[in-house]
Amino acid sequence: MRDSFVARHPSVLIFLALLALFTLGVTVLAEGFGIGLISTSFVKTLGKTMCLCLIAVAMDLIWGYCGILSLGHFAFFGLGGYMIGMWLMYERTRLIVEGSLAQGALPPTEQEIVAAIGTQIFGVVGSSEFPLVWAFADSLALQLALVVLVPGLLALVFGWLAFRSRVTGVYLSILTQAMTLALALYLFQNDSGLRGNNGLSGLQNLPGVEAPQSVVSLWFFWASALALALGYLLAAWIVSGKFGSVIRGIRDNEARVRFLGYSVEIYKLAVFTLTACIAGIAGALYYPQAGIVNPAEIAPIASIYLAVWVAIGGRGRLYGAVIGAAFVSLVSSWFTGGQIPDLALGPLTIRWVDWWTIVLGLSFVLVTLFAPSGIGGLFDLWQGRRHPDRHGADLGPNAGALREKEATE
């Protein structure tokens, strides 16, 4: 019982080893390194996928382990992207503006530079003033801090309100969805200060960096891999100890946890906020690789997809979340990328770009119905672990409790 953390959880070690191997392989084969078997855009896709895996780990923590089906974590993801995007855009515009102002007869004053940056950035929304939210945009350190602080604070306030009033189950899910929608609608406005539906763009260019995209993409790829590794390790450590015991207890039967003397609301709030911070970090790594962040990214549907990934991978096990996110998002981009030939069925031609969503939706229904443990369940089969026979009863009275087919003996 007192073995070391890694010994008790060999899956963590296996995961980290595979991730390291994968990172190494991609690096060697990538364009930026010379061989060029993997194109820069595919390196970016892989890097982005790893960010999605990271937020899926966060989602698994909150849903798979704590039983809260949050439909709002992409809001935190998007906010993380916005926070880093503000610095990237400000700094890059500053370099451009300084370059062009230096051509003038007089050296530019500080006000002139700021005004010119403002015009550049906010011209599209018919403004040139810097809104208050951009107060720290000139400082990388502060914006990096905000990547964690803003999603964390939003999660803290929202979670405090929601958990305090003991909203649970589907109510909570819908409330989180409403929060996401409210945020997206707010950001869609031109006077939100974040360029309305234009969002922040040009984020793939690192200010002051001369290196080509093929190299920059590798940097981000490595950073994403590192973040995923650390995030996974953190999550695995959290769920392995007594804390994990408590939150799994909350998932299955929160009333019982309460009568043991644990303040369920505080635990929920802690997990909600922590996962929001992780989501923010994942977003901050994702959007510089995507190049653009806009309010459409925050739309409620994105968060639902996140839940879908975790469910398809198998919730309640961290590697399941990673597999689900990687599998679905890669297959998705494969299908919607238009590389798959159309399927001719007599008079009907199946164009996968159009039909993929239908396949995804239906396969999701099938997984929920017939394979609740998702892809991760295959590992159980392989290792010979069986589900308990409980005559269909769940493992606890809560809405988020494990189902018979999700549990193992």
Is the separation of the CB atoms in 203 and 291 below 8 Å?
yes
When the beta carbons of 144 and 238 are compared against another protein, the nearer one is 238
Taking the C-alpha atoms of residue 132 and residue 75, their distance in angstroms, rounded to an integer, is 21
> Cβ of residue 150: shortest distance to another protein, in angstroms?
17
> Cβ of residue 208: shortest distance to another protein, in angstroms?
20
If you search the block for the tokens 């890097």, which residue do you land on?
47
When the beta carbons of 190 and 205 are compared against another protein, the nearer one is 190
> Cβ of residue 304: shortest distance to another protein, in angstroms?
5
Amino acid letter for position 394: D
Minimal CA–CA distance to 11: which of 319, 375, 407? Answer: 319
When the beta carbons of 286 and 364 are compared against another protein, the nearer one is 364
> Cβ of residue 331: shortest distance to another protein, in angstroms?
15
When the beta carbons of 355 and 379 are compared against another protein, the nearer one is 355
When the beta carbons of 208 and 261 are compared against another protein, the nearer one is 261
Taking the C-alpha atoms of residue 233 and residue 39, their distance in angstroms, rounded to an integer, is 30
Amino acid letter for position 383: Q
When the beta carbons of 283 and 295 are compared against another protein, the nearer one is 295
Rg (CA), the chain: 23
Q: Which residues contact 65 (CB under 8 A, 6 or more apart)?
A: 239, 244, 247, 248, 251, 271, 316
Taking the C-alpha atoms of residue 404 and residue 371, their distance in angstroms, rounded to an integer, is 11
> Cβ of residue 87: shortest distance to another protein, in angstroms?
24
The total number of residues shown for the chain amounts to: 409
> Cβ of residue 370: shortest distance to another protein, in angstroms?
9
